[in-house]
Amino acid sequence: MFRKSITAFFSALFKTESGWMRWIIALLLIAYFAFQNTSYFNSVRMWLSHENLTLSLGARSFSAYEILNGLITVIAVFWVASLIAVWAQRSVGSLDSIKVSTRSLITSMLKLAIFAIAGIVCLNTLGIDMSSLALLSGAIGIGLGFGLQKITSNFISGIILLFEQSMEEGDLVELTVGEQGIVKRMGARYTLIETFDGKEVMIPNEDFITNRVTNWTFSNEQGRAEIRVGIGYESDVDLAHQLMIEAAKKHPRCSKNPEPACFVTDFGDSSINFLLYFWVDDVVSGRLEPKSFVYREIWRSFQANNISIPYPQSDVTIKNWDKKPI
């Protein structure tokens, strides 16, 4: 329980959204710096710097005062960085002329840069020689290059997606692997897709760059639906054509432009086959309900006008029926 509390404390400490934590830290920092101006501070510093409270690591020794002062310095630097990050996030978020995905990208990059600078400032303030870390950072960089190759690829792919603006939050997308749904959130590593059955699928950003993706709402939200119907050869072809178009127009989500279109596609074995095209204004809301509505309207109209939808039929001719089997 104690470990979870400590973890929650430091998690809230570095979250830029935790406003209450920033105010608590501000009060503590003010109290600490105010205490430095009192006569008691030198006594406390000398007591904390005593050799009995000194930790030795190799050739370097750290007094309790240096450790405590260094910890407070790190908290102060990252507290200021969090304030700057919040200000930057609100400033970018108020730019309505920029798309949501672009604002998210700019905010993420600004936060990364702000906290990276804060880390460098902390190292310099604590007296750590940056040149001594060059060899170590090079080795770590090589290790990260191999071990985090996929993560790096997904991060770069996410930046490309946000810069190209090929997808936006709220778009209806379909991947070649069969996943289809609404884009709910675009992150640095993955894109969250909500499918039509309520599942939330986290798809790596690399899949949107290397695979073929269908964006149904890239330039507009219209989507086309098609219906195939066959009528009997004894039925009125022109009347059936008219009734199918009228059935499509009755649905409230049917687009006025382009208008529904109906075509005779072929003469089948048992029926004259039609293909009806119509567009819906909001493909994100789905096409199954409009198609179901139009199917029902076609069925009712055909029944009212004696237009039949035939079953498949085959004529079988038996030769030499009178001959006896051998």
Q: Is 263's pLDDT higher than 90?
A: yes
Q: How would residue 240 be classed by pLDDT, with cut points 50, 70 and 90?
A: very high
Instruction: Determine, yes or no, domain membership for 79.
Output: yes
Tell which wins on pLDDT, 287 or 274: 274
CA distance 268 to 285: 34
For residue 258, whether the previous peptide bond is cis, meaning omega lies within 30 degrees of 0, is: yes
Q: What is the CATH number of the domain that holds 295?
A: 3.30.70.100
Position 277 in a domain: yes
Residue 142 within a domain:
no
- The confidence score (pLDDT) of residue 61 equals 65
For the chain, counts of helices (H) and of strands (E): 10, 10
DSSP per position, 217-247: TSS-S-EEEEEEEEE-TTS-HHHHHHHHHHH
Return the pLDDT at 264: 92
Q: 106 with 170, same domain?
A: no
Is there a domain that residue 206 lies in?
A: yes
146's CB contacts (< 8 A; 6+ apart) are: none
CB atoms within 10 A of CB 9: 10
* Rounded Cα distance, 136 and 238, in Å: 81
Strand partners, 223: 280
* pLDDT at residue 295, rounded to an integer: 92
Does residue 211 sit in the same domain as residue 252? no
DSSP H or E stretch at residue 115: helix 100-125
Domain that holds residue 253: 223-304
Of 258, 259, 270, nearest to 229 by C-alpha is 270
According to the model, what pLDDT value does residue 318 have?
75
Domain count, the chain: 3
Alpha helices in 126-236 (DSSP H): 134-147, 149-164, 205-210
Q: What is the CATH classification number for the domain harbouring 204?
A: 2.30.30.60
Helix 19-36 / helix 40-48 crossing angle, nearest 10 deg: 100
Q: Is the pTM of this model over 0.85?
A: no
Q: Which residue has the higher pLDDT, 68 or 200?
A: 200
| pLDDT of 245 | 92
Quote the tokens at residue 317: 């001719």
* Structure-block tokens of residue 233: 């050869």
Q: Measured between alpha carbons, how far is 130 from 114 in angstroms, rounded to an integer?
A: 18
Predicted pLDDT at 4: 53
Q: Is residue 148 part of a domain?
A: no
**β-strand 261-267 against 54-57: which pairing, if any?**
unpaired
* Mean pLDDT on 33-52: 69
Q: Beta strand 213-215 with 60-63: parallel, antiparallel or unpaired?
A: unpaired
For residue 134, is it within any domain?
A: no
Answer yes or no: are the C-beta atoms of 196 and 286 closer than 8 Å. yes
Residues 66 and 48 in one domain: yes
Q: Is residue 43 part of a domain?
A: yes
pLDDT, residue 49, reads 67
26 lies in the same domain as 79: yes
| 85 and 54 part of one domain | yes
